[in-house]
Amino acid sequence: IEIADMIAITKADGDNVARALKAVSIYQGALSILTPVLADWMPPVLTISAQTNRGLDELWAKIMEHKERMTASGEFAARRGSQAVAWMRDLLQERLFAALQADAAVARRMAELEGEVRAGVRMPALAVGELVEMMSQRRPPLEGGIE
């Protein structure tokens, strides 16, 4: 489970006020039994209403407070670094998959293997191994990136 840094209950106005306050109570109860991600930060649960402009200043203040704490502790930079690595890996997967699809013979074999995996007659790891081997025989080693 991923714990939010803060929770904002929106549309806390008119007939929704009572429901919003009940939601605050429920979320606070749930958060109270979880271990906070940051030692000095318990995720706040706020109600806001854009219609009545209530709670927006408090929300912004909490956002800025959280950012300052994360920056001071080094957590902000650490999370940004982890996000950048995850993005790099996602891009790599997309580019490698595009390279597989660009080779007609490999794309055909991949479709066949997907059918075999779906039918349960081939293990996914073996299918991937075959495709990697096929690609390594068809293309020179990657130098300087995929074009």
What distance in Å separates the CA atoms of residue 138 and residue 2, rounded to the nearest whole number? 42
The answer to whether position 93 is within a domain reads: yes
- Based on the fold, state whether residues 116 and 67 are members of the same structural domain: no
Over the stretch 58-99, which tens digit does the pLDDT of each residue have?
999 999 999 999 999 999 999 999 999 999 999 999 999 998
d(CA 12, CA 1): 26
Burial 46-68 (b: 16+ CB within 10 A, else e): bbbbeeeeebeeebeebeeebee
68 and 12 part of one domain: yes
* More confident call, 1 vs 84: 84
Same domain (yes/no): 13, 69:
yes
pTM of the model: 0.66
Domain assignment present for 89: yes
Same domain, 114 and 129: yes
3-state SS class at 47: strand
Q: What is the pLDDT of residue 1?
A: 63
Residue 132 lies in a domain: yes
pLDDT attached to residue 145: 55
Look up the domain containing 131 and give its range. Answer: 77-138
Domain match, 24 and 40 both: yes
Q: Are residues 85 and 49 in the same domain?
A: no
Question: What's the pLDDT at 55?
Answer: 95
pLDDT at 107: 93
Give the separation between CA 15 and CA 86, rounded to whole angstroms. 42
Last residue of some domain: 16, 49, 73?
Answer: 73
Instruction: Count structural domains, the chain.
Output: 2
Residues 66 and 83 in one domain: no
Whether residue 124 sits in one domain with residue 105: yes
pLDDT in tens, 94-137: 999 998 899 999 999 999 999 999 999 999 999 999 999 998 88
pLDDT of 23 over the 90 cut:
yes
